[in-house]
Copies of this chain bind each other. A is one copy, B any other.
Amino acid sequence: MIIDCHGHYTTSPRALQDYRDSQIAGLKDPSYKPARAKLNVSDDQIRESVEGAQLKLQRDRGTDLTIFSPRAAGMSHHIGDATISEYWSEACNDMVHRVVALYPENFIGVCQLPQSPGVDPRNCIKELERCVNQLGFVGCNLNPDPSGGYWTDPPLTDRWWYPLYEKMCELDVPGMVHVSASCNPCFHFTGAHYINGDTTAFMQFLTSDLFKDFPTLKFIIPHGGGAVPFHWGRYRGLAQDMKKPLLKDHLLKNVFFDTCVYHQPGIDLMTKVIPVENILFASEMVGAVRGVDPETGFNYDDTKRYVDASALSAADRRKVFEDNAYAVYPRLKAQIAKQRGKGNR
C-alpha cells in the first residue's frame, strides 16, 4: 500500500468557503454573532469535489491512501478570535470527515486545530479529542505561527504548548507542523512562509530538549523539512557546536520529514542525507504547485515518480511509502482496518 501522508481538502464544496466568508464579513459587523456552521452539502457534492481531483490523482499515480486534512492556507488562525477559529475548525474537520466516510479506503483524517494568536493551546484539546475519539482521525496539523507571519506566539519548545503535547501523547497522535496563510506581505505563503515554518520548527527542536520531556511525541515536518536536508551539514554542525547529541539521537526519534519536494535532485539529496526511517511519502496534492514540469512532462507534485527513481532499495522504498507511516501515526493501522472493514463505495 502507498500512503500519502500529506493531502489537503483544497477542493471542498463552495458552501464551506461561503461559511468562512460570512465569518469574515461578520468581523466588520458589530451585530454579528458567531454561530456554528450548518452546511447544506450533499454526498454528491462531496464526491464531485474529490472524484476529479484527489481521487483521480491517486488512481493516475498509483497511490492508495491519503492522510487528509483541511486546506492549510484556509486555517488562517489569525482571522478573528478563538471562537471564530473553533467554529471554523469544526466545520473544516467535519467536511474532511464527510470525505473519509464516503471513501474509507482512500482517505483517513487529520484535523485542523482551533488555534488563535496568543490563546492558550489548551483551547485546542476539545477539538482534538473530538476528531480522534469520535471521527477516527489519526493526527493533527499544528501551526507554529498562529499570527500568520509575525511569529508572535512562543516557540514550539516552550511550555506554553505542553498541555497540548500531553494530550497528543495520551491520544497517541502526531502533529504535522504546518503554518497557514501569511498576512505578512513579506512572505508568500507556499513559496516562503511554509518553507520558513518548516525550517524554523526544526531549529526550535534542535536547540531544545523537548523530546526529553516528551519521548513519544512525534512531529512531521512537511515540504521535505523546509531547508533542513539541503543544509544538513549546517544543522549537524550547529548541534555539535551546542554540545547537543548527534541529530539521530537528539531528535530523529521524534521528527520526520515528508517528500513534498518537487524535483528529482531534491528527493535524491533527501534520501541520501536523511535516515530512511525519517522519510514519509507525501505529495501535498492538490496543493501548492499544480502545473506540469516541462523538463519531465509530469506534474511537479507527482512525487511518487521521484521516490521510485531514487537510489532507495525496494525495502527502503516500502518504508517511505508505507511502513514509516505506521510508526509515526500509531493509530493508523487500526484505523485502516476499521475503515476497510466497513466496506467501500
- A residues whose Cβ falls under 8 Å from a Cβ of B: 144-145, 149-151, 153-155, 158, 184-188, 190-192, 195-196, 199-200, 203-204, 206-207, 223-224, 226-227, 229-238, 240-241, 261-263, 265-266, 268-269, 272-273, 288-291, 293-295, 300-301
Contacts and interface: CB of A to CB of B under 8 A. Distances in A.
23 contacts: A145-B186, A150-B151, A153-B186, A154-B185, A155-B186, A188-B206, A190-B234, A192-B199, A195-B231, A199-B199, A230-B230, A230-B266, A231-B261, A233-B289, A236-B300, A237-B262, A237-B300, A238-B288, A240-B294, A241-B289, A265-B272, A265-B273, A266-B269
A151 B149 CA distance: 8
Total copies of the chain: 2
Contacts of A232: 263, 265-266
A235 B289 CA distance: 9
A226 B268 CA distance: 18
Q: Which of A144, A241, A294 has the most CB of B within 10 A?
A: A241
A151 B145 CA distance: 13
Q: Which of A207, A230, A261 has the most CB of B within 10 A?
A: A230
B186 A207 contact: no
Contacts of A188: 203-204, 206-207, 238
B269 A230 contact: yes
Nearest to A226: B227
Contacts of A268: 269
A234 B303 CA distance: 11
A227 B195 contact: yes
Contact of A234 (B158, B272, B288): B288
A216 to B, nearest CB: 25
Contacts of A290: 237, 241
B203 A192 contact: yes
A198 B319 CA distance: 33
B191 A235 contact: yes
B184 A151 contact: yes
Contacts of A230: 224, 227, 229-230, 261, 266, 269
Contacts of A226: 195, 199, 227
A294 B240 CA distance: 10
Nearest to A155: B186
A234 B203 contact: no
Contacts of A204: 186, 188, 192
Contact of A151 (B186, B233, B237): B186
Contacts of A233: 261-263, 266, 289, 293, 300
User: Which 8 pairs from chain A and chain B are nearest by CB?
Assistant: A233-B263, A233-B262, A227-B227, A237-B289, A230-B230, A191-B203, A237-B300, A196-B196
